[in-house]
Amino acid sequence: MSLSDWLFIGAAVTGILALIAIASTFGRPRGNFLRWCAALLLIALALPMGGLGLLLRHYTWLIEDQPVALIALKQLGPQRFQATLVPTGQPAIERELLGDEWQLDARVIRWQLPVAFAGLPPVYRLERLSGRYGDPQDEISKPRSVHDLRQRWDFWMMQQRYADLVRLADARWGSAAYLPMLDGATYRVSINPRGGLVAKPADEKTESLLRQSGW
């Protein structure tokens, strides 16, 4: 299960315990104050867990090497390609890329204290898919293509907005992988527990295309 699933379960269990504590106050005049305090404490735990689960719904745990996505390329013209990105467990995304190479960027979240004491592994999300030119001068003068893969609301955006109030994680750490865009090539992208993206040919045809191109 994902980190969000565990947080939702924790929030649900805590919420149920809060309801039990509230129900136990009826018909028992003694000890109601303590029961209400316990119920309020449980609710105070359940709400942040549920909210955090919602904000982290697009992130994946980094416990071991994880498959991130497949990316397939089709050439449309000189330095112009149609890229089909298939993130693991998500629908395919088709975008046009300009340049000689594709690049996939991800953001990795590493937890700070006190969350780190819980032993939570890092999580990641995909940030952007872009095209890049092999010649830096082309990168300066030619049109570029950058596609945002982020969701409108998630944990990192909220962390940045309210960093002065609470800081649970250090997410100022990212990783990127890039390889040449070749007509008919398919690449497999994975990420390791340290947060590094790794791209490799997904089949023998792509390996052959890479050798022919001099990579």
Q: What's the domain count of the chain?
A: 2
The answer on 81 and 30 residing in a single domain is: no
109 and 68 in one domain?
yes
Kindly state whether residues 49 and 64 are assigned to the same domain: no
Burial class from Cβ neighbours inside 10 Å (0-12, 13-18, 19+) for residue 23 reads: exposed
- 88 and 35 share a domain? no
pLDDT of residue 116: 46
pLDDT in the model for residue 11: 77
pLDDT reported for residue 57: 61
Q: Show the domain range for 182.
A: 60-213
Does residue 133 share a domain with residue 74?
yes
C-alpha–C-alpha distance, residues 108 and 61, integer Å: 10
Residues 81 and 39 reside in one and the same domain: no
**pLDDT band per the 50, 70, 90 thresholds, residue 12:** confident
Same domain, residue pair 106 and 34: no
Boundary of a domain, candidates 55, 72, 99: 55
Are 51 and 70 found together in one domain?
no
Helix, strand or coil for residue 201?
A: strand
Where is pLDDT greater, at 23 or 3? Answer: 23
Average pLDDT over the chain reads 79
Note whether 105 and 165 are same-domain residues.
Answer: yes
Positive or negative, the CA dihedral 51, 175, 68, 128 is: positive
Q: Is the pLDDT of residue 161 over 60?
A: no
Distances (CA, A) of 116 to 33, 51, 109, 153, 199: 33, 19, 11, 23, 29
DSSP-assigned letter for residue 178: E
User: What's the pLDDT band for 138 if we cut at 50, 70, 90?
Assistant: very high
The answer on 198 and 101 residing in a single domain is yes
Q: Assess contact for 101 and 180: CB atoms under 8 A.
A: yes
Q: What is the pLDDT of residue 150?
A: 79
Q: What's CA 159's distance to the chain center, in Å?
A: 14
Residues 120 and 77 in one domain: yes
Are 20 and 49 in the same domain? yes
Q: How much is the pLDDT for 165?
A: 46
